[in-house]
Chain A
Amino acid sequence: MTLELKGVSHVVGAQTHIHPTDLTLENSTMNVLLGPTSSGKTTLMRLMAGLDAPTQGRILWNGQDVTGVRVQDRKIAMVYQQFINYPAMTVYDNIASPLRLLGLDRAGIDARVRATAEMMRLTPMLDRKPLELSGGQQQRCALARALVKNAGLVLLDEPLANLDYKLREELRAEIPRIFAESGSIFVYATTEPEEALLLGGRCATLWEGRVTQFGPTAQVYRNPQDTTTARVFSDPPMNFLTVDKRGDRMHFGQAASMPAVGGDLADGTYQLGFRPNHLSLEPGPGTITFDTTLSVMEITGSETFVHVAHGNARWVGLIHGIRQLTPGQPLPVHLDPSRIYVFGQGGALVASAPYAEAA
């Protein structure tokens, strides 16, 4: 089973929601669509589902063109961010409804509904109506309905976004297990890089209607192709520093410079990128020190986010432990050069960070 998008685009009025996209989703893979709000994740999913027709391009399922095929005739399942169930039916009937439409016999339906309910831990709630359940149970009911018919393509559009933290953790742990049991192609949209990393599989980063990179999730994270992907796949966003490389030094700001990173590069202007968790307040062996001013500080239990100003750029650092700092104070931050990605002026990756290459 494969799903192929060939030059698929979606244009509404004068707005291009999806730029021409080529994407191939392989048999039994978990595919994460990662991008900020309104980056086109949902639109892309709706195109895959056939709920919207692409303006241009073709969609192939197992090599067959399904571009104009009705939603009903595609073997797909979808779960929305909102908890969508049929409120007038019991949980049992909700899960059974896709199977009844397939024309299965009563005993077969019953067996599959009960097996799926068991997997989603819904067995005690089968006789209740969806609206009498908690949010997590409602979403599990929606997941059960999507999974029960063994669709070849399962689309999950931010299924955990409307759940509270505890339930989200719980369901997030369950989804890879469900995926492994089903053997279908899963497509999972999320706004959170962390969630994408936890789910693993393959990841497509989206930015303003374009797929900026598609590959194994860890690889996309470690070797972002360009600054856009790096920004999307980093939370808080990646920090950037524009430098001018002359010889073996990289110059930035006024009269400040650091040893050149990225190996043999031609002289010129580059953008250096590094992740917030690689900034440190303590110098280490071989670290580069930047003089910055602390603007905002956020403390989250065991970690401290420091928002600092470096020239005109604003950086974020994720520091372990709780620090007592005053906003406005000068704050030298330290960075291990092996953590630096080098991007060209156009934004394309020139040299990946040595630590990522090694991993």
Chain B
Amino acid sequence: MTDASSARAAPMTIAAPRTATRRLRPSGSAVVMGLYLLFLMLPIYWLLNMSLKTNAEILGAFSLWPRDLTFANYQTILTDPSWYMGYVNSLIYVVMNTAISLLVALPAAYAFSRYSFMGDKHLFFWLLTNRMAPPAVFALPFFQLYSSIGLFDTHIAVALAHCLFNVPLAVWILEGFMRGVPKEIDETAYIDGYSFPAFFIKIFTPLIASGIGVAAFFCFMFSWVELLLSRTLTSVDAKPIAATMTRTVGAAGVDWGVLAAAGILTILPGALVIYFVRNYIAKGFALGRV
């Protein structure tokens, strides 16, 4: 009886110190990961921190969290049209751009993945080189061109300008996904009697859905964060949020709190989109195309 009870107790007495040491000595990877997350999240935390403070507190004492919690900054942005229209404008041209990029890139990527034609490899590479040119190079010609044909300060102007780097990217990503679909599926569909458009929509699109998701995400992100072209091509009616944020230095000085709140609101759409497509992006990485 006593033997049994002591035997039952023994593992517990041994286990207890072991967990204690584990708690005292965290593993190396946990430390590295913790530091990494700390450095990564610190600026974002600071932005959030600032957005919830008053200007007086931001400029006054150093504080790790808002002493005087306020949502006034967010309220300013969400009620003042000169602020929230920035978001609306940005969203309009970003969505337009994503749609245009995908509609143009899908047939292009299909052609690159399925047909060999004269100079196809060179053309494919040339498409990619478009991504290497800094947008600043194109700012002046675009400004002049869009002004002369009356597209200046419209959403479509920015959406088209962003196609410069988003279409090649979308073609590149989609081509990788399409290449993974055997050509025999196309042929089987034709043999079954599908016309090309019916095949493309009913059979092919579901197979590359994750590729379309990844391409859409990247188009969305690049168009959302791009500042130079969108600012050059707009003045009032299609002014993007990023431009609004850089023009908030008024007579009263910089409105730190409102700016920080605008920053948080600018990060949000990207974070949301990333959350929804995170699995697809992993797939894209596996294909080596992202």
Contact = CB atoms under 8 A, between A and B. Distances in A.
Interface of A: 49, 51, 70-72, 76-78, 80, 82, 84, 86-88, 97-98, 101-102, 142, 145, 149
A185 to B, nearest CB: 15
Contacts of A71: 187, 190-191
Interface in B70-88: none
B207 A98 contact: no
A70 B185 CA distance: 17
B185 A78 contact: no
A76 B187 CA distance: 12
A84 B185 contact: yes
B203 A82 contact: no
A51 B203 CA distance: 18
A285 B284 CA distance: 71
B193 A78 contact: no
Nearest to A101: B193
B142 interface: no
A145 B184 CA distance: 14
A82 B190 contact: no
A72 B195 contact: yes
A106 to B, nearest CB: 18
B118 to A, nearest CB: 13
Given A88-B203, A88-B207, A80 B193 contact: no
Q: Which interface residue of B189, B195, B207 has the most chain A CB atoms within 10 A?
A: B189
CB-CB nearest 10 A-B residue pairs: A88-B206, A101-B193, A98-B192, A71-B190, A84-B184, A80-B184, A84-B188, A72-B193, A78-B191, A86-B203
Which applies to chain A's interface (DSSP): helix, strand, loop or mixed? Answer: mixed
A41 B188 CA distance: 18
Contacts of B182: 82, 84
A60 to B, nearest CB: 19
A321 to B, nearest CB: 44
Contacts of B203: 86, 88
Q: How large is the interface on B (under 10, 10 to 19, 20 to 34, 35 or more residues)?
A: 10 to 19
B280 interface: no
A101 B191 CA distance: 11
A198 B34 CA distance: 67
Given A51-B187, A80-B184, A145 B207 contact: no
Contact of A49 (B185, B191, B195, B198): B191
Contacts of A77: 191-192
Interface of B: 182, 184-185, 187-195, 198, 203, 206-207
Nearest to A73: B193
Nearest to B191: A78
Nearest to A157: B184
Q: Which interface residue of B184, B189, B195, B207 has the most chain A CB atoms within 10 A?
A: B184
Nearest to B198: A101
A97 B192 contact: yes
Nearest to A88: B206
A96 to B, nearest CB: 10
B207 A101 contact: no
B184 A72 contact: no
30 contacts: A51-B187, A51-B191, A71-B187, A72-B191, A72-B193, A72-B195, A77-B192, A78-B187, A78-B188, A80-B184, A82-B182, A82-B184, A84-B182, A84-B185, A84-B188, A86-B189, A86-B203, A87-B206, A87-B207, A88-B203, A88-B206, A97-B192, A97-B194, A101-B192, A101-B193, A101-B194, A101-B198, A142-B188, A145-B188, A149-B192
B210 to A, nearest CB: 12
A98 B193 contact: yes
A93 B207 CA distance: 15
B193 A86 contact: no
A165 to B, nearest CB: 24
A149 B191 CA distance: 11
Contacts of A80: 184, 188
Nearest to A98: B192
B194 A72 contact: yes
A149 B193 CA distance: 11
B277 to A, nearest CB: 18
A355 B189 CA distance: 48
A71 B188 CA distance: 10
Contacts of B194: 72, 97, 101
Given A51-B190, A102-B193, 16 more contacts: A51-B187, A72-B191, A72-B193, A72-B195, A78-B188, A80-B184, A82-B184, A86-B185, A87-B206, A88-B206, A88-B207, A97-B192, A101-B194, A142-B188, A145-B188, A149-B192
B133 to A, nearest CB: 36
A2 to B, nearest CB: 20
A154 to B, nearest CB: 10
Nearest to A86: B203
B10 to A, nearest CB: 48
Nearest to B206: A88
Contacts of A102: 193
Contacts of B185: 84, 86
Q: Which interface residue of A51, A72, A142 has the most chain B CB atoms within 10 A?
A: A72
A88 B205 CA distance: 9
Nearest to B203: A86
A70 B194 CA distance: 11
Contacts of B206: 87-88
A86 B195 CA distance: 15
Nearest to B188: A84
A72 B193 CA distance: 4
Contacts of A149: 192
Contact of B190 (A72, A87, A88): A72
A319 to B, nearest CB: 41
Contacts of B192: 77, 97-98, 101, 145, 149
A51 B183 CA distance: 12
Nearest to A87: B207
Nearest to A155: B191
A88 B182 CA distance: 14
